[in-house]
């Protein structure tokens, strides 16, 4: 599997998209910190951008790359290699490349310009989102034969998790305004990896406001380490589940 | 006023040095016996040791000085020092383990119907109430280190408790682990200066029906519910720090039915709500720094004629929140870090007004759980739409002269 | 070496393989023949595990190939249309496959690389290559690991006559070593003197599997295309 990671990573790094992505992220994070004299505000803007861009780029990049490496996969599938290892190899190659881009584009600038725990949090959350959406994109690509459908599906997933889901939650919230919803809210957030990431960041940025929420569950969630633990756990599930399902399907896919 | 009191205390000291006898109390001897023996105006010096005297009554003008902090132990049963005479000074004692009672408010030191009493440089540990002023006038309570380790509001008394007193000076004390750090009820014309009230169970400072008081340069941090100032007039609050008060009912400062008062040059950092105002009117809140609070100011619709100006609002989750649509307060000339306007004429004032009340703050006010959606891109879109065409947020709640740069505070 | 039992595969409503059962043995060179869409490529892909049959099973050397990958160590495959990662050079592709597949002690067969004189073009990227050159790379990879089974899907399509002959010579040499070789081709004349058996597929069904000598005897023709034409005629006459 190491060799497959190696070759797909080499192939991706030859690709200019990942370089462009790195430069874009670096440009955004550096300019935000240089133009904004209030680092807290810069972090906030960077958070907004990461919540939008990181999942989007991970989704699209991974789906397109998987379709484009159909040749590579076809070539290797006829070789004595376990199919699951082949997909794992390509997947790990993709997330390695994306994480390197993230490290150079966000991690390094943050480390130099604003070395604080919020920065570390932001970086880790971006990494988690990258892996989650790479997994989802891999699943979309494995499930659909048609390139346009696959890209469409992963874009739809991104759009759903970014906008539609929160809109629905807001709607539910106002429909059921008379009921105590704290358990339900935490439960619903777990169904959306972007929400989980965002709430993980709220734990850093807005903890004083979050402590104003009534409800014992919120107090426990935000006040103790329980929230962070739960978020980590749920994110791990979001990373693992789609890729495991994708590998399962890929094992039985006709190529 | 402060100066007058200093002079008084100095005078007491002068009289003692002039023509009074000095009585010495050594370990194993009785302080109460020495008090009986002494005559008004004398000084009693107490050598190191532990004195368990089941309550000491000071009923004549005396100066009690502890050498190297002799320990007065109330054995968790008794009130330790009760002062009923004017011009008494207590200095340099370690006063510990006062009695606890759910009926009586037993204290380490009680000043009862006495004037010109000084309690200075003592260490109070593990008491029910710390220093208790009852009908006291012109008392000086300074440089005491008052700690307890109470866990619930019922089991702990207040650090410095004043009731129906006036002209008190409370300064340079450190208070921690009590129910309220400093408690004032019907206390007028007093000053609270340079004290630190830290990690008390309920309020760092609790103020009721106490008019014309001044508190300055104090630090109130990590108290269960912050600071509460209620039902008072003409209170002056300058140069204080309100830090790290977290919880659904915790405030940097809770202003309830306060009028004609001023809060200026204070720093509010990392509180759930820096200021919560209810039923308050004619307050001037200016030149304060609001940094990294959940809410800058939560102003209820029952407040009117308050002026909030020339403050810095930086990195708060919400700058302003309110529960109504009526706006009877002004918010001009502040610096808001969320302001996105421009300044074409370069006069340092933004050309378009700033609306500090965000749509989402209103949503959260109505539905607490919505907070979980804070900073969601979806919510961002809604807010942007509301900023362009205000439909739900009150039209009049705005700063017409938002500053482009933080004010130098 | 290869035994297929009741292999069935449907793509939607289309039956690509309809209960195919056959066996291929060491030393045979088998032509897989049939009209377009008869299921030849699907069958080959089943052999390679690229397409998973709906039912039935295939064994290679008595090993069921389902969810197995080890058996592919014995197979060299040359696909109908060779697709390679666009950005890699010929050398990189060959090195990569070698890197992934090579096992210590294995003897590598680079005869074809030399025969096609591919080393001169090693630096060229795959996307710049003509279809024929890709086929050459593909052929080299199929023979590289000296496998016991060779599966060649339209090997000569797109090759110039000289290269085509080179490849046929190579196949003949491998045949002499006693390998099992499976070839599909439209150009029946290419298969003359090469194949020992014929498997004929139509509409996903196995029509017959017979040795060339038997067929020649039956039809009285020597050339393969003649043989096949004769059979077709007989069949239609029969109906």
Query: Which residue is listed with tokens 């532990």?
Result: B50
CATH number where B105 lies: 2.160.20.10
The whole-angstrom separation of Cα B119 and Cα A9 is 75
Host domain of residue B352:
234-357+394-409
Are B138 and B89 in a shared domain?
yes
pLDDT in tens, B330-340: 999 999 998 98
Output DSSP code: residue B115. B
Question: Strand, coil or helix: what is B95?
Answer: strand
Q: How far apart are CA A230 and CA C124, in angstroms?
A: 52
C45, C77, C100 member nearest A81 (Cβ): C100
Determine the angle formed by the axes of helices A83-102 and A70-77, rounding to 10 degrees: 150
Domain ranges across chain A: 2-251
Distances (CA, A) of A164 to A195, B360, C8: 12, 17, 43
Looking at chain C, which residue has its C-alpha nearest residue A84? C67
Residue C237 has pLDDT above 80, yes or no: no
Radius of gyration of chain C, Cα coordinates, nearest whole angstrom: 18
Nearest residue to A83 (alpha-carbon basis) of C54, C67, C83, C145: C67
Is B372 inside a domain boundary?
no
Mean pLDDT of B97-110: 89
**Is the domain of B97 the same as that of B198?**
yes
Q: Do C86 and A71 touch (CB under 8 A)?
A: yes
Q: Is the pLDDT of residue B22 over 60?
A: yes
Task: State the pairing for strand pair C205-211/C197-202.
Answer: antiparallel
Contacts of C122 (CB under 8 A, 6+ apart): C89, C90, C91
Same domain, B247 and B218: no
Which chain B residues are within 8 Å of A181, Cβ to Cβ? 369
Whether the CB of A83 is below 8 Å from some CB of chain C: the reply is yes
Contact map slice: A 59-78 vs C, CB within 8 A: 69-72, 74-78
Residue of A199, A207, A219 lying closest to B372 (CB–CB): A199
- From A38, A198, A219, residue closest to B375, measured CB to CB: A198
Confidence label for B12 from pLDDT (cuts 50, 70 and 90): low
B interface test, pick of A122, A172, A208, A217 with most B CB neighbours within 10 Å: A208
> Mean pLDDT score of chain B, rounded to an integer?
90
> Do β-strands B42-46 and B22-25 pair in parallel, antiparallel, or remain unpaired?
parallel
Interface of A with C in 203-242 (CB under 8 A): none
Domain final position from B189, B224, B259: B224
> B317 and A206: CB-CB below 8 Å?
yes
Shortest Cα distance from B311 to chain A (angstroms)?
17
Q: What confidence category does residue A151 fall into, taking pLDDT thresholds of 50, 70 and 90?
A: very high
Residues of C with CB under 8 A from a CB of A: 11, 45, 48-52, 67, 69-73, 75, 77, 79, 83-88, 93, 96-97, 99-101
B348, B267: one domain: yes
pLDDT, tens digit, for every residue of B222-269? 998 889 999 999 999 999 999 999 888 889 999 999 999 999 999 999
Euclidean distance between CA atoms B73 and B89, whole angstroms? 19
CB A186 within 8 Å of CB A215: no
Nearest chain A Cα to C51, which residue? A254
Nearest partner of C41 among C192, C204, C224, C175, judged by Cα = C204
Chains C and B touch (3+ CB pairs under 8 A): no
Among all residues of chain C, which has the CA nearest to that of A80? Answer: C72
Domain residue spans of chain C: 2-238
pLDDT tier for residue A254 given thresholds of 50, 70 and 90: confident
Banded model confidence at residue C213, pLDDT cuts 50, 70, 90: confident
Do both B138 and B264 map to the same domain?
no
**Other Cβ atoms within 10 Å of B235 Cβ, number:** 21
In-domain check, residue B375: no
Residue B1 has pLDDT above 70, yes or no: no
Structural domain contains residue B129: yes
Residue B78 to residue B5: CA distance in whole angstroms: 30
Give the pLDDT band of residue A240 (cuts 50, 70, 90): very high
Instruction: Measure the CA–CA gap between B83 and B58, rounded to whole angstroms.
Output: 5
Q: Which of B101-110, B172-181, B272-281, C182-191 shows the lowest mean pLDDT across its residues?
A: C182-191
Predicted confidence (pLDDT) at residue B15 exceeds the cutoff of 60: no
Q: Which residues of B are less than 8 Å from A184 in CB distance?
A: 369
Count how many domains chain B has. 2
Residue B367 domain-assigned? Answer: no
Among A167, A186, A211, beta carbon nearest to B246:
A211
- Average pLDDT of the residues in C3-26: 89
* Interface predicted TM-score of the whole assembly (ipTM), two decimals: 0.83
The 3-state DSSP composition of chain A as helix, strand, coil percent (nearest 5) reads 85, 0, 15
Domain end point (choices B177, B201, B224): B224
Partner-chain contact A41 B372, CB within 8 Å = no
At residue C218, the pLDDT reads: 84
Query: CB–CB of A209 and B374 under 8 A?
Result: yes
| CA separation for the pair C4, B180 (Å, rounded) | 87
What does the alpha-carbon distance between residue A145 and residue A162 come to, in Å, rounded to a whole number? 25
C85 vs A75: CB contact, 8 Å cut-off? yes
Which residues in A lie closer than 8 A to residue C77 (C-beta atoms)?
Answer: 78
Do B90 and B146 lie in one domain? The reply is yes
CA atoms of A34 and A155, how far apart (whole Å)? 32
Candidates C67, C84, C100; nearest CB to A71: C84
Report the C-alpha gap between B328 and B307 in whole angstroms. Answer: 10
Last residue of a domain, one of B224, B251, B285: B224
Q: What is the pLDDT of residue B6?
A: 62
Nearest CA in chain C to A77: C50
CB B239 within 8 A of CB B217: yes
List the CATH code of the domain at C2-238: 3.40.50.300
**Mean pLDDT confidence for B52-70:** 93
Q: How far is C50 from chain A (nearest CA, A)?
A: 5
- pLDDT value at B7 more than 60: no
Residue C61: list chain A partners with CB under 8 A.
none
- Residue C17 CA to residue B194 CA, distance in Å, equals 91
Q: How far apart are CA B73 and CA B93, in angstroms?
A: 10
b (16+ CB within 10 A) / e for B196-227: bbbbbbbbbbbbbebbbbbbbbbbbbbbbbbb
Answer yes or no: are the C-beta atoms of A88 and A1 closer than 8 Å: yes
Whether A8 contacts chain C with CB within 8 A: no
- A23 in C contact zone (CB under 8 Å): no
Please tell me whether residues B293 and B342 are part of one structural domain.
yes
**CB spacing of C50 vs A254 below 8 angstroms:** yes
Q: How far is CA A19 from CA A102, A104, A219, in A?
A: 11, 10, 43
Residue of B310 and B382 predicted with greater confidence? B310
Pick A3's closest partner by Cβ from C48, C79, C99. Answer: C99
What whole-number distance in Å separates Cα of residue B78 and Cα of residue B110? Answer: 12
Q: Which two tokens stand for residue C210?
A: 């017979």
The DSSP annotation for B217-230 comes to S-EEES-SSEEEEE
Yes or no: say if B46 and B71 are a contact pair by the CB < 8 Å rule. no
Tell which residue, B327, B333, B273, has the closest CA to residue B304.
B327
**Which residue is closest to C127 within chain A, CA to CA?**
A71
Q: Does B295 touch chain A (CB under 8 A)?
A: yes
Q: What is the DSSP letter of A163?
A: I
Task: Encode pLDDT of A82-114 as tens digits.
Answer: 989 999 999 999 999 999 999 999 999 999 998
Q: Which helix (H) or strand (E) holds A47?
A: helix A39-68
A in contact with C (at least 3 C-beta pairs within 8 A): yes
DSSP of chain C: -EEEEEEEEEETTEEEEEEEEEEE-TT-EEEEE-STTSSHHHHHHHHTTSS--SEEEEEETTEE-TT--GGGGGEEEE-SS----TTSBHHHHHHHHHHHH--TTPPP--HHHHHTTGGGGTTSBGGGS-HHHHHHHHHHHHHHT--SEEEEESTTTT--HHHHHHHHHHHHHHHHTT-EEEEE-S-GGGGTTT-SEEEEEETTEEEEEEEHHHHHHHH---SHHHHHHHHHHHHHHH-
Q: Pick from B208, B211, B210, B241: which is nearest to B226 by CA? A: B241
Q: With contacts defined as CB-CB under 8 Å, which chain A residues touch B377?
A: 48, 51-52, 162-163, 166
- Angle (deg, nearest 10), helices A165-175 and B377-388: 70
Same domain, residue pair B197 and B56 = yes
Touching subunits for chain C (3+ Cβ pairs under 8 A): A
Average pLDDT of span A225-246? 93
**pLDDT number for residue B162:** 96
Q: What is the pLDDT of residue B62?
A: 93
Q: How confident is the model at residue B128 (pLDDT cuts 50, 70, 90)?
A: very high
Task: Give the pLDDT band (50/70/90) at residue B274.
Answer: very high
Choose, out of B292, B335, B373, B403, the residue to mutate when testing the contact with A (most A CBs < 10 Å).
Answer: B373
Nearest to residue C113, comparing CAs of C149, C163, C73, C147?
A: C163
CB-CB neighbors (< 8 A) of A7 in chain C: 96, 99-100
Which among A15, A69, A78 is the nearest to C72, CB-wise? A78
Q: Helix (H) and strand (E) counts for chain A? A: 14, 0
């Amino acid at each position: 599997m190491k060799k497959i990671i190696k070759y797909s990573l080499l192939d991706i790094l030859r690709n200019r998209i990942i370089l462009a992505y790195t430069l874009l992220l670096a440009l955004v994070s550096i300019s935000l910190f240089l133009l904004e004299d209030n680092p807290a505000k810069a972090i906030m803007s960077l958070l907004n951008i990461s919540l939008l861009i990181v999942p989007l780029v991970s989704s699209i990049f991974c789906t397109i790359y998987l379709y484009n490496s159909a040749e590579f996969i076809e070539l290797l599938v006829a070789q004595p290699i376990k199919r699951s290892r082949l997909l794992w190899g390509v997947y790990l190659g993709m997330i390695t490349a994306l994480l390197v881009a993230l490290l150079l584009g966000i991690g390094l600038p943050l480390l130099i310009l604003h070395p604080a725990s919020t920065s570390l949090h932001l970086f880790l959350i971006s990494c988690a989102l990258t892996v989650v959406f790479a997994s989802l994109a891999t699943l979309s690509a494995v499930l659909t034969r048609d390139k346009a459908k696959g890209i469409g599906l992963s874009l739809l997933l991104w759009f759903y998790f970014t906008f539609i889901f929160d809109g629905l939650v807001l709607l539910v919230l106002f429909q059921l305004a008379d009921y105590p919803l704290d358990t339900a809210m935490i439960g619903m957030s777990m169904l959306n990896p972007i929400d989980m990431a965002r709430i993980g960041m709220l734990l850093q940025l807005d903890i004083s406001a979050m402590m104003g929420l009534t409800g014992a569950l919120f107090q426990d969630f935000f006040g103790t380490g329980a929230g962070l633990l739960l978020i980590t756990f749920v994110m791990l599930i979001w990373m693992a589940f789609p890729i495991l399902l994708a590998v399962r399907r890929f094992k039985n896919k006709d190529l | 006023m402060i100066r007058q009191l200093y002079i008084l205390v100095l005078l007491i000291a002068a009289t003692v040095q002039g023509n009074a006898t000095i009585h010495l109390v050594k370990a194993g001897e009785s302080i109460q016996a020495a008090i009986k023996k002494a005559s008004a105006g004398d000084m009693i010096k107490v050598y190191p040791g532990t004195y368990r005297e089941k309550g000491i009554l000071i009923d004549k003008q005396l100066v009690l000085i502890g050498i190297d902090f002799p320990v007065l132990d109330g054995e968790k049963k008794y009130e330790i020092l009760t002062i009923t005479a004017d011009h008494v000074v207590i200095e340099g004692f370690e006063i510990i383990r006062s009695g606890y009672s759910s009926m009586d408010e037993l204290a380490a030191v009680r000043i009862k119907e006495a004037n010109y009493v000084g309690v200075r440089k003592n260490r109070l540990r593990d008491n029910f109430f710390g220093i208790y002023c009852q009908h006291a006038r012109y008392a000086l309570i300074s440089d005491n280190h008052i700690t307890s380790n109470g866990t619930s509001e019922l089991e702990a008394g207040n650090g410095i408790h004043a009731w129906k007193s006036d002209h008190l000076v409370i300064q340079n004390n450190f208070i921690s682990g009590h129910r309220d750090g400093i408690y004032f009820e019907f206390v007028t014309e007093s000053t609270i200066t340079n004290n630190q009230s830290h990690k008390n169970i309920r309020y760092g400072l609790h103020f009721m029906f106490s008019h014309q008081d001044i508190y300055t340069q104090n630090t109130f941090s990590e108290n269960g519910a912050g600071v509460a100032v209620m039902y008072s007039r003409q209170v002056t609050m300058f140069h204080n720090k309100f830090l790290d008060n977290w919880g659904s009912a915790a405030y940097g400062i809770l202003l309830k039915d306060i009028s004609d008062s001023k809060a200026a040059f204070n720093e509010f950092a990392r509180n759930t709500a820096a200021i919560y105002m209810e039923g308050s009117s004619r307050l001037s809140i200016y030149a304060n720094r609001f940094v990294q609070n959940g809410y800058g100011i939560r102003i209820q619709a029952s407040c009117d004629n308050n002026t909030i100006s020339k403050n810095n609002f930086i990195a708060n989750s919400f700058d302003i929140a309110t529960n109504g649509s009526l706006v009877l307060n002004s918010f001009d000339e502040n610096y808001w870090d969320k302001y996105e306007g421009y300044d074409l004429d370069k006069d340092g004032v933004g050309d378009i007004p700033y609306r500090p009340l965000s749509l989402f703050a209103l949503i959260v006010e109505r539905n607490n759980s919505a907070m979980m959606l804070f900073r969601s891109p979806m919510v961002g879109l809604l807010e942007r739409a509301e900023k362009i065409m205000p439909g739900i947020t009150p039209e009049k709640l705005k700063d017409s002269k938002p500053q482009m740069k933080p004010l130098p505070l | 070496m290869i035994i297929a039992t009741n292999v069935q595969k449907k793509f939607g409503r289309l039956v690509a393989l309809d209960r195919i059962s056959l066996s291929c043995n060491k030393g045979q060179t088998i032509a897989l023949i049939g009209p377009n869409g008869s299921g030849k490529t699907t069958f080959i892909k089943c052999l390679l595990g690229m397409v998973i049959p709906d039912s039935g099973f295939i064994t290679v050397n008595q090993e069921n190939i389902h969810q197995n990958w080890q058996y592919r160590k014995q197979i060299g495959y040359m696909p109908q249309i060779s697709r390679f990662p666009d950005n890699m050079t010929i050398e990189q592709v060959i090195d990569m496959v070698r890197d992934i597949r090579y096992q210590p002690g294995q003897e590598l067969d680079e005869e074809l690389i030399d025969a096609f004189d591919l080393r001169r073009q090693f630096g060229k990227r795959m996307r710049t290559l003509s279809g024929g050159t890709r086929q050459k790379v593909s052929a080299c990879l199929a023979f590289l690991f000296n496998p016991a089974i060779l599966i060649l899907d339209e090997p000569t399509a797109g090759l110039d006559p000289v290269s085509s002959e080179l490849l046929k010579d190579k196949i003949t040499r491998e045949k002499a070593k006693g390998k099992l070789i499976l070839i599909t081709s439209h150009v029946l004349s290419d298969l003359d003197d090469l194949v020992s058996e014929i498997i004929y597929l139509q509409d996903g069904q196995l029509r017959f599997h017979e040795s060339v000598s038997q067929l020649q005897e039956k039809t009285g023709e020597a050339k393969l295309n003649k043989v096949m034409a004769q059979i077709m005629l007989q069949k239609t006459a029969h109906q």
